[in-house]
Amino acid sequence: MSERENILARVKEALTVAAPLPGSHHGAHAEPASLPTQEDHRRVLPLVGESFEERVALFAKNSDELRSDFKLLIDQSELVAALNKLRAAEGWTRVASHKGSLTDAACQALGLPVLLTDAGFDKTELEKCPVGISECDALVAQTGSVLVTSRSAGGRALSVLPPHHVVLARRGQLVPGLPEAFALVKQKYGADYPSMISFITGPSRTGDIERILVLGAHGPKKLTILCF
């Protein structure tokens, strides 16, 4: 027999005896009828606000606490202006990005040499780029997270290897919370999932030395979210 069969046989054998019900030592005594629904999750998770304005305010508050730089902009021209300001402030001489409607326009406006990751790239070159500019699948108000996938954001490395990650998003991409974000992933990719789905929440961080927060442990030291 293979180890797969051995292990599964031991599991089956073990499960012939029923276990006490979940939370029975806290007084629960009924077998749950079904797995929790999205409404069940929503009922217990933190509040996310009712209107778009409240949710944007929550996303902004969370970004602030996480030390992400979140900017809500009027239109694409403001987005270009914000990018040019960053370029001047940080002295970018080139950028890394991927093909996409928002990123294409941004790279064109910046007018700098672009390392595109889409068709494969040299990882040492990407490591030298001062910034990675990517699109995203959603912004999550509940947690201040950016949802990216290997398909929507130029692969796996673009959003973590350069020291500054700039995310371009549209207002319509703001979702209230994690339940809605996972529903979106299922609806968008259900038939064929990307090999990586990632919730990025703030710049890379560590507290491993005396529980003191340091940004930029391994991933980006800065996370900028430009939303219009």
Partner 1 sequence: MSTAAVAFKKDAVRLSADLRHRALIQGALSKYELKRDEKQALFQDWQGARQLAAETKWEAVNHLDTYLDQFVRGLEARGTKVHWASTAQQARDIMVGICREKSARSIVKSKAMTAEEIHLNEALEHAGFDVVESDLGEFIVQLREEAPYHIVFPAMHLTRGEIKDVFERKLHDAPSDSPEELTMVARRVLRQKYVQADVGITGANFAVAETGMVSVTENEGNARLTAALPKTMITLLGIEKIVPRLEDLALFLPMLATVGAGQLISGYNTMYGGPRQPGEADGPEEFHVVLLDNNRTAILADAEQRDSLHCIRCGACLNVCPIYRNVGGHTYGTTYPGPIGSVITPNLRGLQEWKHLSYSSSLCGACTEACPVKIDLAHHLLQNRRNASRQKPSFLQRMAFKLFAPLATKPWLWSLLVTKGGRFGQIFHGLVKGTRLDPAYVWTKTRDLPPIARQSFKEWWKERK
For the segment 179-208, give every residue that binds partner 1 (CB under 8 A).
179, 181-183, 185-186, 193-202, 204-208
* 7-25 exposure pattern, b = at least 16 Cβ within 10 A, e = fewer: eeeeeeeeeeeeeeeeeee
CB of 64 to partner 1, least distance (A): 12
Q: Does 40 bind partner 1 (CB under 8 A)?
A: yes
| Smallest distance, partner 1 to C-beta of residue 25, A | 4
Q: How near is the Cβ of 27 to partner 1 at its closest, in Å? A: 10
CB 148 within 8 A of CB 123: no
Cβ-contact 155, 195 below 8 angstroms: no
> Would you count residue 55 as binding partner 1 (CB under 8 A)?
no
- In whole angstroms, give the CA distance from residue 200 to residue 188: 19
Measured CA to CA in angstroms, residue 113 lies from 92, 145, 157, 160, 221 at distances of 10, 29, 19, 20, 22
> What is the closest distance, in whole angstroms, from the C-beta atom of residue 130 to partner 1 in the complex?
14
Residue 88 in contact with partner 1, rule: CB under 8 A: no
| Window 135-154: residues binding partner 1 (CB under 8 A) | 142-145, 150-151, 154
Q: Do 131 and 95 contact (CB within 8 A), yes or no? A: yes
CA–CA distance, 69 with 85 (Å, rounded to integer): 13
d(CA 96, CA 82): 17
User: Would you count residue 176 as binding partner 1 (CB under 8 A)?
Assistant: no
| Residue matched to tokens 């304005």 | 53
227 forms part of the interface with partner 1 (CB under 8 A): no
Q: Binding to partner 1 by residue 29, rule CB under 8 A? A: no
Among 63, 117, 173, 224, binds partner 1 (CB under 8 A): 117
Residue 178 engages partner 1 in binding (rule: CB under 8 A):
yes
Q: Which is nearer to partner 1, 80 or 153 (CB)?
A: 153
